[in-house]
């Protein structure tokens, strides 16, 4: 099995098919761009990035981000994007990416998607609960869109903002943003597609 090691303070260009951060007890792996470029730059198609804490991007509005995506068919889930210029920046021409169940916290701009990728996913809990409750559409949580003053009302108390969120100036849309942070309370492995 191949191991990938990440050094704090450097940025990374990935060409792998799956990158899954494992919490060994001392917290999820942190990739800190240390104020330059992006924590992760994604140029390979069909990559899955899961379980990381991505922070400290450079300040360039050209796309410095927790994850800069310049490819297609990727799945980004269950990550914390914290204090970046953009949490996630999707480059023009990058299509069919799915971004869900991530926490966007205190980024200068939560996300940019001028293409219209997918910011939510229909998911079902495993077993009986899944049968009883059926599938749920799960988006992402955004610290700048989780209170009434920011446009997120939850009048039916289902844990989701009642209105979708436009990503940047669109056309990307998160159909079902969450009111509270996801990562701490959720066991991602108990869900299936
Ligand atoms: Ca807020
Ligand atoms: Ca609601």
What ligand is nearest to the CA atom of residue 163?
Answer: 2
pTM for this entry: 0.85
The ligand that comes nearest to the alpha carbon of residue 181 is 1
Q: pLDDT by residue (tens digit) across 145-178?
A: 999 999 999 999 999 999 999 999 889 999 999 9
Structure-block tokens of residue 187: 């066991």
pLDDT (tens digit per residue) in 5-62: 555 555 666 555 688 888 777 778 899 999 999 999 999 999 999 999 999 999 999 9
How far is ligand 1, taken at its centre, from the CA of residue 160, in Å?
A: 14
Report how far ligand 2's centroid is from the alpha carbon of 63 (Å). Answer: 31
Q: Is the peptide bond before 33 cis (omega within 30 degrees of 0)?
A: no
- Between CA 20 and CA 136 the distance in angstroms is 24
The confidence score (pLDDT) of residue 186 equals 43
The domain spans of the chain are 12-182
* Closest CA relative to residue 91, chosen from 107, 113, 76: 113
């Amino acid at each position: 099995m191949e191991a990938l090691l990440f050094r704090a303070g450097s940025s990374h260009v990935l060409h792998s098919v799956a990158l899954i951060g494992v919490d060994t007890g001392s917290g999820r792996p942190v990739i800190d761009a240390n104020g330059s470029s992006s924590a992760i730059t994604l140029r390979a198609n069909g990559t899955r990035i899961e379980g990381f804490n991505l922070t400290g991007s450079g300040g360039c509005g050209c796309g410095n981000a927790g994850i800069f995506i310049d490819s297609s068919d990727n799945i980004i889930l269950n990550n914390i994007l914290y204090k970046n210029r953009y949490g996630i920046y999707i480059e023009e021409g990058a299509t069919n990416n799915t971004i869900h169940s991530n926490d966007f916290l205190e980024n200068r701009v939560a996300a940019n998607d001028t293409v219209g990728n997918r910011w939510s996913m229909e998911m079902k809990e495993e077993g009986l609960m899944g049968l009883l409750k059926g599938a749920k559409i799960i988006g992402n949580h955004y610290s700048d869109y989780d209170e009434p003053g920011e446009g997120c009302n939850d009048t039916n108390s289902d844990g989701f903002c009642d209105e979708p969120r436009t990503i940047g100036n669109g056309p990307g849309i998160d159909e079902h943003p969450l009111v509270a942070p996801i990562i701490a309370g959720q066991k991602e492995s108990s869900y299936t597609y």
